[in-house]
A and B are shown apart, each in its own frame.
Chain A
Amino acid sequence: QSVLTQPPSVSAAPGQKVTISCSGSSSNIGNNWVTWYQQLPGTAPKLLIYDNNKRPSGVPVRFSGSRSGTSATLVIAGLQTGDEADYYCGTWDSSLNAGVFGGGTELTVL
């Protein structure tokens, strides 16, 4: 059981927008920056969003993140078939003194 809770899967058509939620608590999301990773099939994860809403160089503006209270959200607009991947949220948990991840969300672009 993951410390952070994500939906197992989401789907949408090309060109549409999809939202992936990540729910935690005051010891993790509520008081620490949230990060999102994209893992394409058969590859290592890649940093997608950090510090709740910042994009590393090279990540398209179609990807955006936000945090409110003890929850975070990843929004992917203008979906492309190449966006099909697993998406993970992560942060630090101050009570566990450990890094924590969500269970991952599989995105299908129909």
Chain B
Amino acid sequence: EVQLVESGGNLVQPGRSLRLSCTTSGFSFGDYPMSWVRQAPGKGLEWVGFVRSKGYDGTMEYAASVKGRFTISTDDSNSIVYLQMNRLKTEDTAMYYCTRGLYIGGYYPIPFDFWGRGTLVTVSS
């Protein structure tokens, strides 16, 4: 059974950093693209970024709103994907979801076939 479990969400002050983790199981981690998608309270979905599978080239892409501040990385040995968030802003407040791309070795991260339950990040002074 495919499982994605996010952790690390917290209340943090503007300008500070936070690292989210997504622990996965039930599939061959290195074969699939992995994304982060966020949802501000009462708002819609926003794609944050993704990492291509190691089988493709392992590169990352980011949304313009987080590029240069957020970094995605992986721990392949433990099947974990991270989202390092620096210079946090109040507008980064959201539920952060970890998602898996449907296609093995896909160049694009979509569609997202499995989602975690999310971890809440609140940026406030």
B111, A88: Cβ atoms closer than 8 Å: no
Considering only residues 35-52 of chain A, those with a C-beta below 8 Å from chain B are: 35, 37, 43-47, 50-51
B102, A50: Cβ atoms closer than 8 Å: yes
* CB-CB under 8 A for A47 and B111, given A2-B44, A99-B50, A101-B45: yes
B64, A104: Cβ atoms closer than 8 Å: no
A85-99 to B contact mask, C-beta < 8 Å, 1/0: 010101110001111
State A56–B2 Cα separation when bound (angstroms). Answer: 15
Residues in B whose Cβ lies below 8 Å from that of A56: 113
Q: How many residues of A contact B (CB 8 A)?
A: 27
Q: How many residues of B contact A (CB 8 A)?
A: 24
A contact patch SS: strand
Partner of B35, one of A35, A46, A47, A99: A99
Which B residues have a C-beta under 8 Å from some C-beta of A? Answer: 35, 37, 44-47, 50, 61-64, 97, 102, 108-118
Which A residues have a C-beta under 8 Å from some C-beta of B? Answer: 2, 32-33, 35, 37, 43-47, 50-51, 56, 86, 88, 90-92, 96-104
